Structure 1
Amino acid sequence: MTSIILIQLDLTSDPAARRVVKDETVDVQFAHEAGSLMSLEGPNRYEIGDALITGATGERWVVSRDRFDAKYVPRDEIKHGDAGAYRNVPAAVLAKQMHEAFSIARSDAGDVLHGVAGDWVMQYAPGDYGVVKAARFAKVYKPA
């Protein structure tokens, strides 16, 4: 299967891109040692303190601690930094549904993620990317 490789993607001027907002409560554990977990889209390496997230639809992924602290708030009377339920801080991001298989690095020299036709490539900030399966996108993202 051939796929396109996305490099230095900029969705800000792509007419097929949409602005969307995630609406989700997730379960979070914090890494006690460096390692890697396999998400549906590819490997996610992590360092001590990074957030190991399980989404509302069962998918797992990693968010670096500095990004996590800015993007998630605790729920259910837990303190920030403790394991438990967190809700994302609503923020508009750019997304584009892809019509063929593709791959993209999460960041410069970051893990490479893979998507199939129908999945979404996400641009959270310049040089900061993700891949979201079509079914998950439909459940947790809404128009901004």
Structure 2
Amino acid sequence: MQILDFLFSYGPWAWIIAGLVLLALELVVPGGFLLWLGIAGIVTGLAAMVQPLTLPMQWGLFGVLSLVAIFAWLRFTRSRPQVNDRPYLNRRADRLIGREAVLEDPIAGGYGRLMLEDTVWRVAGPDLPAGTRVKVVGAEGTVLQIEAV
């Protein structure tokens, strides 16, 4: 009941204040959606100042503006390509696909070890003797899939 009393006593300013509070909350609790609710509240307050609206119409305008703003933002952000200067940052094994190396230890039973760059990797592939030149053709987690060159 206090919310309705607040809305009736301050009219359009209540929407503007609520919008500003939502914008301030966005700074504390980031997530993106409070930003659009705050903007919708401010626009609703400005619309109520320009054209007198009943309370149900104000709530309806606020709801429609909120939904439109959130859905438009989600559509915009999901359609943008993800630009990354380090596409293999947390996928070191994928970065090694296509590299060639020489086996120091033989592969027996389908698994072995291979030294690439500064790391010893577990490798899976056909049984091969030490000294065989191999190529990395895939990765499953931290196990490199190899084949003889």
| TM-score bin (small chain) | under 0.3
Which is greater in Rg?
2
Structure having the higher helix fraction is 2
